[in-house]
Amino acid sequence: MEWKIEIKNRKGVFNPLGNGVKKDILDLGISSVKKVDVSHVFIISGDITESDAKRIAGELLADPITEEYAIGPVKGPKGRVVEIAYNPGVMDPVEESAKKAIRDMGIYGVKSLRTEKKYFIEGKITEEDFKNICEKLLYNKVIQHVAKERSVKNGLRGSAYKFKLITVDMLGADDKKLMNISKSGQLFLNLKEMQEIRKYFRKLGRNPTDCELETIAQTWSEHCGHKTFRGIIEYEEEGKKRIIDNLLKNTIIKVTNELKKPWCVSVFKDNAGIIRFDEDDNICFKVETHNHPSALEPYGGAGTGIGGVIRDILGVGLAAKPIMNTDIFCFGLPDAEHKKVPRGMLHPKRIMKGVVSGVRDYGNRMGIPTLNGAVLFDERYTGNPLVYCGTVGIMPKNKSFKSTRPGELIVAVGGRTGRDGIHGATFSSGELTHESGTVSGGAVQIGNPITEKKVTDTLLKARDRSLYTAITDCGAGGFSSAVGEMGQGIGAEVDLEKAPLKYQGLNYTEIWISEAQERMVLSVPRENLAELLDIFRKEDVEAVVIGCFTSNNRLKLRYNGNVVCDLDMGFLHDGTPRFERKAVWSKPVHKECRYKTKRNFNPDLLKLLSSWNVCSKEWVIRQYDHEVQGQSVLKPLVGVKNDGPGDASIIRPKFNSKKGIIISNGINPRFGMIDPYLMAGSVIDEALRQVIAVGGSLKRTAILDNFCWGNTDKPDRLGGLVRASFGCYDTAKAYGIPFISGKDSLNNEYSVHGKSVSIPGTLLISAISVMDDVTKAISMDLKEKGDLLYVIGETKDEMGGSHYNLINNCVGNNAPVVDAKKGSRIFDKLSEAADFGLIRACHDLSEGGMAVALAEMAFSGGSGIKVSLKEAPSQVKKDHVILFSESNTRFIAEVRKEDKKKFETLMKGAAVGLLGEVSGSKDFEVYGVNGDKIIDISIDKLKEAWQKPLRW
């Protein structure tokens, strides 16, 4: 029997969900909608009587105070009605928990439970408006459909699977056919690679099975193999050519190898970089990207992005406990005209709202504070947003390394395997087109954070009892990637039919490569199995033996006894032909801004504060739980009203210790438009600046690189990537800061009318730093009237790529350069001053330069300032340059008057200028190099300008 139960608000109950939708409809430019009601539909089938259904509805599903239920269709208010359901095979997280609750009630007959959302839209709207509302707001065809169109199924949930071995004819295939095989199978392998595979199987004298081919494609994918970074590059710059054999080894990894920091515990080997925290524990940090899935289904894409990086942390060493998240997003402009958004792409505002809520719902449910992040906007991210998700973990020192041994059992833990997420690894290695949604829909998933939370809780218990010897997450590539990686160098055998499935109908290859979420793979000594399974069983986590590790260096897969894959591990992992690519870089010439002398910069400052990149991100931050776990010491929002933009964030991971962790990020694609080399330097400098600004030091600071680039098959794109890598090496080496982990996401392009648009090459640098005493932390808000304001660091005429240029519609050419020698001195002296307690507030100078930093400090502290640019260290005596140039390694610091001498003595040898003081009034007063007042405006006006744009 199937029951349809509909839950809706009682009359008169305030309706925030409907109001939210109404607001979004208004954003679409449709103003005639009067009211939106939302009701929740549950479709329950199984051996359920009517009285059961009524009990379920009345006692469980409906809130007796605010809601009412009806069994069977409900008559809504007048207007249009649309019912949205998940596509078959898409994870419906409510299904599992609702079924559990019904069993708790003593009702056992439920076979399936599905949820739908039903919208009642009141008001005069045209058919086209209605269609627009549905498609642009209420559902996403990648994962959902309008319920009456149930026939539109993509067949993800099938009937029973009957085994049939499929082989692919490669032995006789010519090159053209090889490429057809690659393309039609969504393998994203190039000809050279396909030829290499053909050669391997010709030697064996047989054709590969589909499963073997998929396994190779996944292992060799850009996503998993970083082929570009590890390949051979012929690089040309200003007519000079050189060969780079493995860019990664020659730049990023080289820094770390040369610096040989004793506190770097594990770098570039495991899921995340590990550094020492204290005598007992290590900490680890990883930042991942989830760009393509977030472009197609922002909510699910971003949620599974954060879910994935959390699993990276669970899979590092023998598992670390996730203690903090950081998220950095790049979107198109939120006010883009709807008609200008390319076909098949979602509007940037919808992407942004979806991404933020995806990260919110996953991160918050996992109970991990999202403490830090950034949001950037640029037109070129419209079709290809960037979603960086990072997680920090902590682990006992002796749990930092893994080693799989032959004979141990392969245990799959956590979520079940479904048809979701097929081809994610290979899909992310290709370009987005308007058809990506339909062709690669299976690559997009909805996560179930509670499953992952349960896995986390139990896994850490099993870790502490030393019940397994190795662990890996099922990320891109699913079992294929996890088991393949763990079995590298020894061998593995898996019986695929043993993997628990969400529903029947999956064939052996689908089981092997599905990227269904929330799964981990363990290597377990046989004698520990019973105890291990008991830990999971006690908290309702599924754990199943699916095979064992061997010593014959082969990857052997069976389905009900039939061999479906038998590959040499050596070929699988080391057989990839090296990439050979050309890279060219030449310095572009951008339009310069011509600035006339100005007497008043009030409007410029207001405009900068209201610009998308600078404005307050409070709307985003408040949706994240940044307090959970109770360990945040310096939160993302600081100041007298808890709404100022903090620099780095600090947590103290142990309640009984004052030791802390500082996390910060540096990102600025606008510098990359001029020179990716300089961008790399500047974003490293920015990440380090923030560590220093909150009272940290560079002593135990490490960084992560994260490159999001366009299609590096194109020499100009690759040229930029090479330049950026050089910049990483030079700057990090000069500052003495090791890289401990990194990631690259290439092919961030999308096609509009057949023409490829690339994102601006974007490098994110994330820093992690150990702070000895968190009670010395400094926030950026001004503290007290009468205190002195200093600028530290020299301001140069480096307006290129600045936000001041941006609001004046040009890019410029003189991007900021890092002077690491002077920079190091500034960093070290400032952290010494902080350690002595001489600094009351400190803010780094980034987007918008000195003017924006001063304004932010002033309105966050609720106090005006009176400053003069005369004393600012600078060779350039131009007001607009000193105010808005984004030169590196600069800070504003607030110092007590009585500490003036101490501070100035300590800072000797670094460029320091006394600008003025905290006035205590509401006025923000700045005098220019000639002594004229060039800015005079109330801090309330500045704050309003800064808060208004994203007050959604």
Partner 1 sequence: MKKPKVIILRTAGTNCDNETAAAFRMAGGEPEFVHINELARAERSLKDYQILAIPGGFTYGDDIASGKILANEIKYKLNEDLKNFINSGKLVIGICNGFQALVKAGILPGLDNGVMEATLSFNDSGSFIDKWVELKSHSADRIAQRCIWTKGLPETIYLPIAHGEGKFIPRDSDILKRLRKNDQIVFRYIDNPNGSIDDIAGICDTTGRVLGLMPHPERHSLGTQHPRWTREGLKEYGDGFAIFKNGIDYVKEKL
Q: Catalytic amino acids?
A: 223, 290
Please state the closest distance from residue 56 (CB atom) to partner 1, in A: 10
Residue with tokens 């600012």: 872
Of 267 and 394, the one with the shorter C-beta distance to partner 1 is: 394
From residue 415 to residue 454, the character string flagging contacts with partner 1 as x (rule: CB under 8 A) and all else as - is: ---------------------------------xxx--xx
Please state the closest distance from residue 19 (CB atom) to partner 1, in A: 6
Which residues touch 519 (CB under 8 Å, ≥6 apart)? 412, 413, 414, 415, 417, 473, 474, 478, 479, 482
Please state the closest distance from residue 623 (CB atom) to partner 1, in A: 5
- Give the rounded distance of the alpha carbon of 575 from its chain centre: 31
Choices 10-18, 158-166, 235-243, 804-812; region in contact with partner 1 by CB under 8 A: 10-18
Residue 127 zone, left/alpha/beta (φ > 0; ψ -120 to 50; rest): alpha
- Listed in sequence order, the DSSP H helices in 736-862 are 803-807, 820-835, 849-861
For residue 432, the 8-state DSSP code is B
Which residue in 49, 95, 8 sits closest to 446, CA to CA?
Answer: 95
- For partner 1, the binding residues in 725-784 under the rule CB under 8 A are 774-775, 777-779, 781, 783
Choices 13-21, 172-180, 247-255, 829-837; region in contact with partner 1 by CB under 8 A: 13-21
Q: Which two tokens stand for residue 674?
A: 């001029």
Which residues touch 883 (CB under 8 Å, ≥6 apart)? 601, 604, 605, 804, 849, 850, 851, 869, 926, 934, 935
From residue 512 to residue 551, the character string flagging contacts with partner 1 as x (rule: CB under 8 A) and all else as - is: --------------------------xxx-----------
Of 298 and 913, the one with the shorter C-beta distance to partner 1 is: 298
- For partner 1, the binding residues in 53-82 under the rule CB under 8 A are 59-61, 63-66
Angle between helices 191-204 and 175-184 (to 10 degrees): 100
For residue 791, what are the β-bridge partners?
892, 913
Of 621 and 663, the one with the shorter C-beta distance to partner 1 is: 621
Please state the closest distance from residue 539 (CB atom) to partner 1, in A: 6
Cβ atoms of residues 386 and 472 within 8 Å? no
Of 737 and 865, the one with the shorter C-beta distance to partner 1 is: 865
Residues in contact with partner 1, counted by CB under 8 A, come to a total of 66
Cβ atoms of residues 607 and 830 within 8 Å? no
Please state the closest distance from residue 725 (CB atom) to partner 1, in A: 37
Q: Which amino acid is at 666?
A: G
For residue 3, what are the β-bridge partners?
44
- For partner 1, the binding residues in 233-272 under the rule CB under 8 A are none
Which residue in 736, 822, 840 sits closest to 781, CA to CA?
Answer: 840
Of 626 and 717, the one with the shorter C-beta distance to partner 1 is: 626
From residue 105 to residue 134, the character string flagging contacts with partner 1 as x (rule: CB under 8 A) and all else as - is: xx----------------------------
Of 40 and 261, the one with the shorter C-beta distance to partner 1 is: 40
- Give me the DSSP letters along 604-646: HHHHHHTSTTTS--HHHHTTS--STTS-EEE-SEETTTT-EE-
Choices 100-108, 159-167, 432-440, 561-569; region in contact with partner 1 by CB under 8 A: 100-108
Of 638 and 883, the one with the shorter C-beta distance to partner 1 is: 638
Task: Quote the CA–CA distance of 136 and 118 in Å, as a whole number.
Answer: 16
Residue 43 as a binder of partner 1 (CB under 8 A): the answer is no
Please state the closest distance from residue 922 (CB atom) to partner 1, in A: 18
Of 834 and 929, the one with the shorter C-beta distance to partner 1 is: 834
Of 448 and 472, the one with the shorter C-beta distance to partner 1 is: 448
Task: Quote the CA–CA distance of 875 and 164 in Å, as a whole number.
Answer: 76
Choices 94-102, 405-413, 484-492, 885-893; region in contact with partner 1 by CB under 8 A: 94-102
Task: Among 58, 93, 123, 158, indicate the residue that binds partner 1 (CB under 8 A).
Answer: 93
Q: Which amino acid is at 315?
A: G
Q: What is the 3-state secondary structure (H, E, C) of 841-864?
A: EEEECCCCHHHHHHHHHHHHHCCC
Of 657 and 751, the one with the shorter C-beta distance to partner 1 is: 657
Please state the closest distance from residue 465 (CB atom) to partner 1, in A: 15
Please state the closest distance from residue 293 (CB atom) to partner 1, in A: 21
Which residue in 946, 368, 239 sits closest to 609, CA to CA?
Answer: 946
Sheet holding 912-918, edge to edge: 841-844, 891-895, 788-792, 912-918, 865-868, 923-927, 933-938
- For partner 1, the binding residues in 614-643 under the rule CB under 8 A are 621-635, 637-640, 642
- For partner 1, the binding residues in 777-836 under the rule CB under 8 A are 777-779, 781, 783
Please state the closest distance from residue 686 (CB atom) to partner 1, in A: 22
Q: Which two tokens stand for residue 909?
A: 């040898």
- Listed in sequence order, the DSSP H helices in 57-174 are 93-104, 127-133
- For partner 1, the binding residues in 348-387 under the rule CB under 8 A are 360, 364-367
Please state the closest distance from residue 625 (CB atom) to partner 1, in A: 5
Task: Among 2, 19, 155, 526, indicate the residue that binds partner 1 (CB under 8 A).
Answer: 19
From residue 450 to residue 489, the character string flagging contacts with partner 1 as x (rule: CB under 8 A) and all else as - is: x--xx--x--------------------------------
Task: Give the number of residues written for the chain.
Answer: 952
Of 414 and 816, the one with the shorter C-beta distance to partner 1 is: 414
- Give the rounded distance of the alpha carbon of 738 from its chain centre: 22
Sheet holding 519-524, edge to edge: 470-473, 519-524, 409-414, 543-549, 492-495, 554-559, 562-568
Task: Among 89, 300, 645, 861, indicate the residue that binds partner 1 (CB under 8 A).
Answer: 861
What residues make contact with partner 1 under the rule CB under 8 A? 13-14, 16-17, 19-20, 59-61, 63-66, 93-94, 97-98, 100-101, 104-106, 360, 364-367, 448-450, 453-454, 457, 538-540, 621-635, 637-640, 642, 652, 655, 774-775, 777-779, 781, 783, 861
